[in-house]
């Protein structure tokens, strides 16, 4: 009888131990706030979304809050660190070149000599000269632009682009979305309120430029003459 009771005790202890061994341990839930210093917290948060995780973000405060198991939160934090890099800076060089049907004189800098040769093949103008040039610094994902007066006349220009992005890989391609060049030339006419009426011409396009490549974007008439204003741009990524 005593032996039988001992046997039942051993069986019960074994069953209890077995039950304890198969009971899964509840994973610990943690919450962590990760600062996003360079990238857009909104875009990063959408990229690191994962089942079983709670991810909240505030772009104004530059933070992402992650809630989940300790291992999952640590993995997402590492992904955020890798994505949180400063967007590259882009240097855009813009040349406004005049093409003349009458004057065959050439006045372009040495670095634009191959471009001038290309222009002679594309257009019927006898001579080309640089009216204006400027360098525009921008950043991936941002807009940019500048304006000024064209020398030798009363026309003004306004150059803008809506956004710029840089491709991965080598060679890199710089994409400009919504490039616009507007040339405004005042006329002798005025409107009902006495304001001078301007004659406007424009170039509108999107651009893909291989880094270092000079691209002839397009041409527009200037000062109502047969001469043309030609837009040439080149871009490079500044590390």
Query: How open is the CA angle 219-215-237, to the nearest 5 degrees?
Result: 135
Terminus-to-terminus CA distance in the chain, angstroms? 87
> Do 53 and 138 fall within a single domain?
no
| Number of domains the chain is built from | 2
**CATH label of the domain that carries residue 65:** 3.30.1370.120
> Which of these, 226, 214, 150, 206, lies nearest to 182 by C-alpha position?
150
Q: Residue 136's closest CA among 39, 38, 208, 233? A: 233
Look at residues 86, 108, 130 and tell me which one is the last residue of a structural domain. 86
Does the predicted TM-score (pTM) go above 0.75?
Answer: no
Domain span at 137? 89-238
What is d(CA 27, CA 204) in angstroms, rounded to the nearest whole number?
Answer: 57
Beta-bridge partner residues of 183: 157, 201
Tens of pLDDT along the chain (239 residues) come to 555 555 455 555 555 555 555 566 777 889 999 999 988 889 899 999 988 889 999 988 999 999 999 999 999 999 999 988 888 889 999 999 989 888 777 888 898 999 999 999 988 898 999 999 999 998 888 899 999 998 877 889 999 999 999 887 777 899 999 999 998 888 888 888 888 888 888 899 999 999 888 999 988 776 656 778 899 999 988 87
Residue-level pLDDT at 139: 86
Within 10 Å of residue 228's Cβ, how many Cβ atoms? 21
Is residue 158 domain-shared with residue 209, that is, in the same domain? yes
Asked whether residue 40 falls in the same domain as residue 101, the answer is no
Tell whether 192 and 234 lie within a shared domain.
Answer: yes
For residues 157 and 184, membership in a common domain is answered with yes
Q: Is residue 55 domain-shared with residue 168, that is, in the same domain? A: no
Task: Please tell me whether residues 42 and 123 are part of one structural domain.
Answer: no
Q: Are residues 105 and 146 in the same domain?
A: yes
Does some domain include residue 176? yes
Give residue 12's pLDDT.
Answer: 57
Q: Tell whether 148 and 82 lie within a shared domain.
A: no
d(CA 62, CA 57): 8
Other beta carbons within 10 Å of 74: 13
pLDDT at 76: 92
Cα 138 to Cα 93: distance, rounded to the nearest angstrom: 11
CB 98 within 8 A of CB 129: yes
pLDDT of residue 150: 87
Residues 181 and 81 occupy one common structural domain: no
Q: What pLDDT is recorded for position 65?
A: 95
Residue 9 counted as domain residue: no
Give the residue from 38, 63, 86 where a domain finishes: 86
Distance CA 234, CA 211 (A): 8
- Within-domain flag for 231: yes
């Amino acid at each position: 009888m005593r032996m039988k009771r001992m046997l039942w005790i051993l069986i019960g202890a074994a069953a209890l131990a077995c039950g304890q061994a198969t009971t899964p341990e509840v994973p610990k839930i943690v919450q962590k706030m990760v600062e996003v210093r360079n990238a857009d917290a909104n875009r990063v948060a959408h990229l690191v979304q994962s089942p079983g995780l709670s991810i909240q973000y505030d772009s104004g405060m530059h933070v992402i809050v992650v809630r989940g198991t300790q291992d999952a939160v640590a993995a997402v934090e590492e992904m955020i660190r890798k994505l949180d890099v400063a967007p590259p800076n882009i240097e855009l060089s813009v040349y406004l070149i005049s093409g003349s049907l009458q004057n065959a004189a050439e006045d372009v800098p040495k670095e634009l000599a191959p471009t001038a040769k290309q222009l002679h093949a594309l257009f019927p103008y006898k001579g080309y000269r640089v009216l204006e040039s400027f360098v525009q610094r921008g950043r991936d994902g941002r807009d940019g632009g500048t304006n000024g007066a064209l020398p030798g006349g009363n026309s003004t220009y306004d150059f803008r682009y809506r956004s710029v992005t840089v491709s991965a890989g080598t060679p890199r391609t710089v994409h400009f979305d919504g490039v616009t060049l507007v040339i405004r030339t005042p006329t002798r006419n005025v409107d009902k309120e006495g304001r001078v009426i301007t004659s406007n011409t424009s170039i509108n396009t999107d651009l893909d430029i291989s880094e270092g490549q000079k691209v002839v974007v397009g041409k527009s008439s200037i000062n109502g003459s047969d001469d043309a204003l030609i837009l040439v741009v080149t871009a490079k990524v500044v590390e």
